[in-house]
Amino acid sequence: MDAEDYKVQDISLAEWGRKEIDIAEVEMPGLMASREEYGPQQTLGGARISGSLHMTIQTAVLIETLQALGAKVRWCSCNIFSTQDQAAAAIAKAGTAAVFAWKGMNLDEYWECTLKALDWGNGLGPTLIVDDGGDMTMMLLEGSKWEKIWEEEQRLPDPSRVETEDEQALFRILQLEIPKNPNKFRNYVSQVKGVSEETTTGVLRLNQLAAKNQLLFPAINVNDSVTKSKFDNVYGCRHSLPDGIFRATDVMLAGKKVLIAGFGDVGKGCAQAMKGCGSRVYITEVDPICALQALMEGFEVVRIEKYIKDIDVFITATGNKGIILAQHMAQMKHNAIVGNIGHFDNEIDMKGLKDWPGIQRLNIKPQVDKWTFPDGHSIIMLAEGRLLNLGCATGHPSFVMSTSFTNQTLAQIELWVNKDNGKYENKVYKLPKELDEKVARLHLKALGAELTVLSNDQAEYIGVNNTNIDIVHKKIQENMLLYSSDPFLILSFSNPNYYKIQLDYHQYSFD
């Protein structure tokens, strides 16, 4: 990598960033164990990994893990507000990746940075992608699509024909790039062996593409690993939502009425956090099962229209669009706080808010704005409707991101070691369950937990043979896995007899 192959806010922040990375490494046992296990054999040797994922301190540890496993890395952020500039500077200074990210970039700069992260020079593109939300994947696929249209019809993408500002900015850069090199994106796609996707919305995009046979390379859905969605999405948001609100507003949440739109994994974590702060929590939901879960947790399930004038804090967590509209905000109480913790900013109608006749915007501090309606009442908008926990704070803590990013590392390894054997088609896959449990086990040890082993009497009572869990861990470490299917994990032993254990309500068989 060229020593100057980066674009960051301030390279002098590198020393600060390195100190924080050193602290984070201790809190990320899964990634450090991955370096120890896979580093010596350089499992990712020869891989060119392009990543589009929040450029935080935790992501810096992921980047340096991929590099320690033999990969070369180029990186950009997946959100204009989520970069920690000291983290980007530390990675750029160390040269462990070419990084193109800074907090507060505009949308045109955002897509330029995404393109820079894809461009390896001399016609080379990435062989693997780490994506969060699917923007890097979409740039490749949209670019390839429009190259064909340009070739056949001499027609370029028209930004005025798409709805969101993000899409318009993407189309602007494609307009510029395609005439200069009409085969760039198709060339890049031909080199990609696979993508691992971090978040719910990105997985939705991939599944839609796969259903239409428009996915041009294999994809691993990291989000639906249990040690991602049930940890990062729940416990990460439980930690980072109040952190973002407090840093942005210093408001006291005890006694306040808080409405959480959506009670999926993210919404569950958010609702727990607000309840823990002493708030009175209301839930909006379209899914009857999630709604019933919310009720069983003691929350009110309501329609936003009925409570719009009474709520103090609104948080969207659905992954859908058009959840809080401008007409909703026009009816809110004075100084109601509005924020989003879903991946994209289209959950809140920012365009409708900006276009409201007579509306006035007053910036309080970075990523905190007061919008005043003509009738005199105001709302406090956090992070311009983008991820408030990253825009107004620093996102999830290191430990929970270690579970997510260890899954990302294992997904990248899985795609790379199987790149030439036809194991993966252009479809969306999940990591096998035994890898999920391996990730959990690595983090249990760091917290000093000890797993219970059945007594012989207990094993006989439920009809299984007893053995030691250490056998499982040892055989997984030795990569002796043959295949698995839920609920059985099947490993190859030299002993022809079956040995069975029970752990966490799952039964495992060994032959």
- Please identify every residue annotated as catalytic: 54, 77, 82, 132, 198, 223, 228, 232-233, 237, 343, 396, 404, 408
Q: Which residue has the tokens 């659905």?
A: 318
DSSP helix, strand, coil percent of the chain (3-state; round to 5): 45, 15, 35
Taking the alpha carbons at both ends of the chain, their separation in whole angstroms is: 47
**Count of CB atoms situated within 10 Å of the CB of 25:** 20
User: What is the residue-wise DSSP string for 361-378?
Assistant: EEEEETTEEEEE-TTS-E
Yes or no: say if 345 and 227 are a contact pair by the CB < 8 Å rule.
no
Cα 60 versus chain centre, distance: 14
Q: What are phi and psi of 197, to 5 degrees?
A: -110, 130
The SS3 call for residue 272 is helix
Cα 196 versus chain centre, distance: 10
Going by their DSSP bridges, the two strands 378-382 and 488-491 should be labelled as: unpaired
| CA diameter of the chain | 79
Q: Which amino acid, residue 117?
A: A
User: How far is the C-alpha of 443 from the C-alpha of 73, rounded, in Å?
Assistant: 26
User: How far is the C-alpha of 44 from the C-alpha of 172, rounded, in Å?
Assistant: 35
Residue 113 structure tokens: 């940075």
User: Which stretch of DSSP H or E encloses residue 410?
Assistant: helix 398-417
Residue 99 structure tokens: 């990084």
User: What is the residue-wise DSSP string for 310-352?
Assistant: T-SEEEE-SSSS-SB-HHHHTTSPTTEEEEE-SSSGGGB-HHH
User: What is the residue-wise DSSP string for 63-118?
Assistant: HHHHHHTT-EEEEE-SSTT---HHHHHHHHHHTSSEEE--TT--HHHHHHHHHHHH
The SS3 call for residue 49 is strand
Residue 67 structure tokens: 């590099």
Strand-by-strand arrangement of the 488-491 sheet: 481-485, 488-491, 506-510, 499-503
What is the phi-psi region of residue 174: left when phi exceeds 0, alpha when psi lies from -120 to 50, beta otherwise? alpha
